[in-house]
């Protein structure tokens, strides 16, 4: 027998075209879903005081958001801000300032910021950054107690105020204001300051002293 005669009819084939836009959307959806889950877990850890573990999860979430949305996105800014809060609470002030400034560049509408997202988010990041600067030892000359009635937030000279003995940056018009602010707000920031100093191998005392008033840290 001779060789078979070729069939002249065309062979039917099926080609599936993949829309690049659809593929990218799938990548974004998958990354976003995973990042949200990681961020939620990180927030729970942070609320429980497990800031180091929260940082690891926030970092994973941030990598996914950068891949999906980019560095100048609202989504990335959310995680930058959360990272900053946890870095602050672990005394990693350089890291905290870096990520908070990244968040503020997206959120703030001044100083070259992009002005993306709700204004309340920008205010929250500015407040977090102010806390980092406070923990670094940079502050203004007014009573640090936000509930202060006298002088009610007026600017005063340093000679008129008492300074926090640990961070040397928060000033108070009275011992009562110092005690109230210590309980309401300043205590974790002083702890962050002491951790930061310890990381730099600088010796510190075990507490704060404001004109003879010692408070355990």
Measure the CA dihedral 132/137/140/141, to 10°. Answer: 150
Crossing angle for the helix pair 187-199 and 74-89, to the nearest 10 degrees: 80
pLDDT in tens, the chain (217 residues): 556 665 555 554 444 454 566 677 877 888 889 999 999 999 999 999 999 999 999 999 999 999 889 999 999 999 999 999 999 999 999 999 999 999 999 998 766 678 888 878 888 898 888 888 778 765 445 677 877 765 445 556 666 788 888 777 788 888 898 889 889 888 888 888 878 777 764 443 444 443 434 444 4
Q: Give the domains, in start order, of the chain with CATH numbers.
A: 23-136 (1.25.40.10), 158-216 (no CATH)
Runs of H (alpha helix) within the chain? 20-47, 51-68, 74-89, 93-107, 119-136, 175-181, 187-199
């Amino acid at each position: 027998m001779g060789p078979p005669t070729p069939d002249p009819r065309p062979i039917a084939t099926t080609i599936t075209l993949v829309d690049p836009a659809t593929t990218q959307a799938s990548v974004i959806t998958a990354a976003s879903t995973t990042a949200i889950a990681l961020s939620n877990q990180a927030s729970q850890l942070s609320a429980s005081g497990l800031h180091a573990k929260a940082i690891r999860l926030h970092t994973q979430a941030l990598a996914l958001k950068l891949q999906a949305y980019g560095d100048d996105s609202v989504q990335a800014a959310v995680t930058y801000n959360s990272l900053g809060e946890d870095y602050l609470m672990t005394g990693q002030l350089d890291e905290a300032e870096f990520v908070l400034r990244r968040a503020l560049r997206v959120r703030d509408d001044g100083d070259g910021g992009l002005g993306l997202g709700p204004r309340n988010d920008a205010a929250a990041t500015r407040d977090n950054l102010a806390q980092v600067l406070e923990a670094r030892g940079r502050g203004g000359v007014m009573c640090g107690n936000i509930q202060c009635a006298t002088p009610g937030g007026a600017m005063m000279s340093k000679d008129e105020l008492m300074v926090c003995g640990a961070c040397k940056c928060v000033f108070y018009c009275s011992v009562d204001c110092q005690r109230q602010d210590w309980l309401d707000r300043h205590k974790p920031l002083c702890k962050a300051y002491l951790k930061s100093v310890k990381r730099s191998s600088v010796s510190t005392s075990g507490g704060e002293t404001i004109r003879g008033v010692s408070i355990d840290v």
